[in-house]
Amino acid sequence: MNNSSTALSDAQALRRAWEGTSDEVVVARVVRGESALFEVLMRRHNQRLFRVTRAIVRDDDEAEDVMQDAYVQAYFKLNQFEGRAKFSTWLTRIAVHEALARVRKRHPDVDPEAEPVVSSMPNPEDAVSSRELGQLLEPLVDALPEAFRTVFVLRAVEGLSAAEVAECLAIPEETVRTRFFRARRALQLQLEQQLMASVRELYEFHLLRCDRIVEAVFARLRGDPPT
C-alpha cells in the first residue's frame, strides 16, 4: 500500500473512531492532556477553514499558512472555549480574524464593502459538468470584494445559515443577508441555478493538504524548527 493510500486509510479510521463524539467532548479531552486528539478536530474542520481562509486571502498556500496559525492559536486557547457557541464557530472566528489581519496588513487601503464588480463572465453553456462549472466560478468568486466573498463562501459553499455566518464573522445577521444578496447578484442571475448545484466543488480540500496541515501544526506545537 502506498503512502497516500495509507494516509487515506488512517484518516478514515480516525474519522470513524470518533464519529458521533461531539467536538466539545474531544476538546475537553485535549484540555485534560490528550493532545494527540487535536488531530480529530483539525480533520473535522479542515475543509471549512480552508474554504473560508482561501476566500479571504485568495491564495491556496497562504490559506494553509493562515490555517496553521489559527490552529496553533486555538490549541493554546482551548481552555478558554466555554461552549457558548459551537466549537466550529469559535474556531472559524479565530481563522477569519487571522486571515483578515493578513489582508489588512497587506492592503490597508482596500475597502471590504466596495460594490462587487465582476466582468468577462463565461457563458454557463460552456460548462459541461459541475466540476467544470465550479472551476469557472472560482475566479469569479475570487473577484468579489472580501466582505462579500467571505459571506458567500460560508453561506453558499459551506451551507451555514445567516445566523451562523453572523456569529462566525461577528456582524449583524441583516448585514450577512445583504452581502449574500449582493454577491449573488454580482455573479449574475443566469449562473444562479448552475452555481447552486456546483459550489460544493469550490476550493476542494485534498487529503494531502489535510495531512500537511495536521503534520505542520503538530510540529509547531512540539517546537520543531521550521522547514
pLDDT at 170 over 80: yes
pLDDT category, 72, cuts 50, 70, 90?
Answer: very high
User: In 3D, which of 95, 97, 94, 87 has the Cα closest to residue 38?
Assistant: 87
Domain boundaries, the chain: 3-222
What percent of the chain is predicted at pLDDT more than 90?
55
* Domain 3-222 homologous superfamily, CATH: PhyR, sigma-like (SL) domain (1.20.140.160)
Residue 111's pLDDT is 64
Residue 22's pLDDT is 93
pLDDT, mean of residues 132-158: 86
pLDDT at 117 over 90: no
In contact, 153 and 183? CB cutoff 8 Å: no
pLDDT, mean of residues 150-169: 94
pLDDT category, 121, cuts 50, 70, 90?
Answer: very low
62-to-146, 151, 153 alpha-carbon distances in Å: 15, 19, 17
Predicted TM-score of the model (pTM): 0.73
pLDDT category, 123, cuts 50, 70, 90?
Answer: very low
Chain center to CA of 111: 22
pLDDT, mean of residues 133-155: 87
pLDDT, mean of residues 78-107: 91
Residue 112's pLDDT is 62
Residue 126's pLDDT is 45
In contact, 111 and 145? CB cutoff 8 Å: yes
**Could you read off the pLDDT of 21-65 as tens digits, one per residue?**
899 999 999 999 999 999 999 999 999 999 999 999 999 999 999
